[in-house]
Amino acid sequence: METRKVQVTGGSSYIITLPKEWIISAKIKKNDPVGVVVQSDGNLLITPSTTVEASHMTKEFNVDNITDSTYLFRLLIGAYISGYPNIVIKSNSEIQPFVRDCVINFTQVLIGPEIVEEDDHTIITKDLLKPTEMPFDKTIKRMFLLVKSMHENVMLALVERDRNRANEVIHRDMDVDRLQWLVARQANMVLEDFSLSNKMEIKQSNVMFYYTMSRILERVGDHAIIISKYMPVLIDKKLSGKNVDIIKSASDLSIRILSRSMESWQKKDIALANETIESVKQLKQECRKINDIAAHMKGEPAVALSSISESIRRTGEYATDISELMMNRLVND
């Protein structure tokens, strides 16, 4: 790290010199403006540009050689997560109906993008959501409530022998995914734009914490989907009330562990986080009881019970990952 002495000019202005090597590498000339950003941690950031070039704000896709809508959708998701506010879809010939349907689906699924221009050869989407309108904390809390509800409802489906309720849980998977994509997008945007971290009142060093939390919660939601897909097999099997209670008890414990992990994060309570990590030992014992039930069955019910037991256990373990992540963050703070 280089040091510079602060000088006073004109009796009231404080100045420092900038490293020559940096000036040359950034191609800064005399009288060029530079960005000066006061960060939330008290540091001063100097950037070689005060604006973002238009080319960095627009991503363009030519769809002439694209025939797979899934592939196109993944490209659009990639551009969205990368932080491009404007996405242009072009074709030298007339845009195919599947392309238009894919773009419409993209704007309906993702949070922010809308189609702002369209003709026979071009579709342009623009992100209308300001990052400051959806702070990381708010999105993470929403994801938690969603996945918690998914796990609770799939167990209710088992208790009530309600196949429709189990199917409804599967349809909520996209709600979790779209929030995770939003966190990933905003994380990339904050890491690229130092000034945005100030506007969102978040340190850049904490961005990956929120991104990792969103990935963990997304995985917890995935396990609710796995349980939901196997649930009709158990509903048809008409398990005894005792066996249903064993399964529900294990699931309830995994969600309590998740809730306590989130509580330790919100309260910044290291002791509670540590207790939560230790509680996964009891969850493993509860899951072994489900495996014992599966051992006395054959065919699909046995496979379903084993898979459900695994997903319940993994849910609890993912919850402890949040506690470990939070502990590491608080220790660093």
Question: From residue 116, how far is each of 86, 111, 112, 125 by CA, in Å?
Answer: 10, 15, 12, 6
Mean pLDDT for 83-103 is 94
Question: From residue 329, how far is each of 142, 164, 325, 326 by CA, in Å?
Answer: 21, 41, 6, 5
Kindly report the CATH number assigned to the domain that includes residue 120.
Answer: 3.30.110.20
Check whether residue 321 and residue 230 sit in a common domain: yes
Q: How far apart are the first and last CA of the chain?
A: 23
Assess contact for 320 and 261: CB atoms under 8 A: yes
Kindly report the CATH number assigned to the domain that includes residue 23.
Answer: 2.10.260
Assess contact for 205 and 197: CB atoms under 8 A: no
Question: Over the chain, what is the mean pLDDT?
Answer: 89
Check whether residue 198 and residue 322 sit in a common domain: yes
Check whether residue 141 and residue 290 sit in a common domain: yes
More confident residue, 46 or 159: 159
- Hey, is 85 helix, strand or coil? coil
Reading phi first (left if > 0) and then psi (alpha if -120 to 50, else beta), residue 7 is in beta
What pTM was computed for the model?
Answer: 0.82
Look up the domain containing 268 and give its range: 132-332
pLDDT level of residue 41 (50, 70, 90 thresholds): low
Check whether residue 113 and residue 72 sit in a common domain: yes
- Hey, is 308 helix, strand or coil? helix
- Hey, is 220 helix, strand or coil? helix
pLDDT score for 132: 82
pLDDT score for 251: 95
> Does residue 167 fall inside a structural domain?
yes
287-300 pLDDT tens trace: 999 999 999 888 89
pLDDT score for 252: 96
CA dist 64 and 323 (Å) reads 48
Check whether residue 288 and residue 159 sit in a common domain: yes
306 Cβ contact list (under 8 Å, min separation 6): 290, 291, 294
Neighbours of 61 (CB within 10 A): 17
Element (H, E) at 312: helix 299-332
157-196 pLDDT tens trace: 999 999 999 899 998 889 999 999 999 999 988 887 777 7
Instruction: Tell me the DSSP string of 100-163.
Output: HHHHHHHHHHSSSEEEEEE-SSEEEEEE---GGGS-HHHHHHHHHHHHHHHHHHHHHHHHHT-H
